[in-house]
Amino acid sequence: MGAFVKSKIITQTVLLVSFVSLFTDIASEMLYPIMPVYLKSIGFSVLLIGILEGVAEATAGLSKGYFGHLSDIKYKRVPFVRAGYILSALSKPMMAMFIFPVWIFFARTLDRFGKGIRTSARDAMLSDETTPEHKGEVFGFHRSLDTIGAAVGPILALIFLWFYPGRYQWMFFIAFFPGLIAIGLTFLLKDRVPGPQVQPANSPAHLPAHSPGNIGFFSYLKYWSRASSGFRFLVAGLLGFTLFNSSDAFLLLALKEQNLSDSMMIGVYIFYNLIYALFSYPVGILADRIGLKTMMIIGLFLFAIVYTSMGFTSSVPIFALLFFLYGIYAACTEGISKALISNMAQKKDTATAIGFYNSLASIFTLLASSLAGVLWYSIGSKAMFMISGIGVFLVVCYLLVVFRLKKMSV
């Protein structure tokens, strides 16, 4: 592992967490392209699939806030990270063991519940490992390895289905093995969160609402009232962006509208993930030099370009260019947003702050995809993409004003 370490910025913990995410994403993304097909093959209607995914994602979203808050209160990261990855790994073979709708709902929700338990604690662990000056590099490195898994998974799925077409259930059992590797790596992680003895006596951490004995499921929402104004302005802008950022499935549907084959569609998705993975780490390093907020603005501007252009092309090379830019956008925003948020929170509130954002962002993503679906079927895909692109351009303008007026230095 030492060969990866550069000036001790990429620590052993950062490496371990990143490889855990890599193997977990290999498992998850092996199943992502075939999940709707598998569910339809066992009798799920499109409506039931939509309800299943909605319930699962809502579970993940709400859990991110609660368990992030709990991680800060307990001064622990590793137990949440490990438990979350264990539940997600176990859910994979469970999806194929039985095909009863109630069981499928339970297994799929368990997977997303595991994501909710681990995500905020994991991101806070990454933040704890570095300084504000190097957050972009650390989060960028993690996103890079995470997204390599997102590219490898569909490739493995394509290879398997080439030799064994239609054997969807076997893929759920195969996906369990990279999940096992991820679980094993979590047992090498160690906590380094400072305990309560280093907190000032008058710290908000010692208020009754923030004590282990008084933790409501939605208590993390109270963080908004004690967060800095910079955090509130930033999160308002990011949530505004999320409202226009529908599921990537709509981008893939746009390819299908142009009669691209399933293999070519999955190939474009793999290409996007490879670009995302290749650029995340260097973009993170560059963001530390030019400013996290500058990189965020660049990423959102690229998103606006991609979406406003998506409905007006039928050329495969142009699609490739747009998905290349979309990969750059993701590299400029996904890890960078976590880095920005963690820099605006006190160390004792890192997981709570990230969980607050993750939780609301998940809900807003559901709203965005629902709204995009309504627009797609009522006024067409071109109008939907155009409205999304213009909306994000307005968010960029808002953030430019906020960053200038608030003089945020992060």
CA angle 253, 93, 154 (to 5 degrees): 35
Cα–Cα dist 166/247, whole Å: 25
At 194 the pLDDT is 58
351 in any annotated domain = yes
Going by C-alpha positions, the residue among 188, 164, 184 that lies closest to residue 174 is 164
- How far is it, in rounded angstroms, from Cα 381 to Cα 375? 7
Instruction: Identify the burial level of 387 via C-beta atoms within 10 angstroms of its C-beta, where 0-12 means exposed, 13-18 middle and 19 or more buried.
Output: middle
The reported pTM is 0.82
- Convert the pLDDT of each residue in 345-366 to its tens digit: 888 888 899 999 988 988 888 8
How many independent structural domains does the chain possess? Answer: 1
Q: Count Cβ neighbours within 10 Å for each residue of 272-297 and write b for 16 or more, e otherwise.
A: bbbbbbbbbbebbbbbbeebbbebbb
Asked, for residue 211, whether it belongs to a domain, the answer is no
Tokens of residue 230, six digits: 């910079």
- Other C-beta atoms closer than 10 Å to the C-beta of 2 total 6
Any domain includes 197: no
Chain CA centroid to CA 124, Å: 14
User: Does residue 82 lie within any of the structural domains?
Assistant: yes
Q: Which residues of the chain have pLDDT under 50?
A: 1-7, 197-210, 409-410
- pLDDT at residue number 185: 95
- Owning domain of residue 185: 2-191+219-406
pLDDT, residue 307, reads 92
Contact 309, 393 (CB under 8 A): no
Mind listing the pLDDT tens digit for each residue in 168-193?
Answer: 889 899 999 999 999 999 999 988 75
Residue 206 belongs to some domain of the structure: no
Which DSSP string do the residues of 21-36 spell out, in sequence order? HHHHHHHHHHHTTTHH
- Domain containing residue 402: CATH number: 1.20.1250.20
Please report whether residue 208 resides in a domain.
no
Instruction: Please tell me whether residue 148 adopts helix, strand or coil conformation.
Output: helix
Supply the pLDDT for residue 46. 62
In a domain? residue 196? no
Asked whether 285 and 331 are in contact (CB, 8 A), the reply is no
Residue 349 lies in a domain: yes
Predicted confidence at residue 155, as pLDDT, reads 87
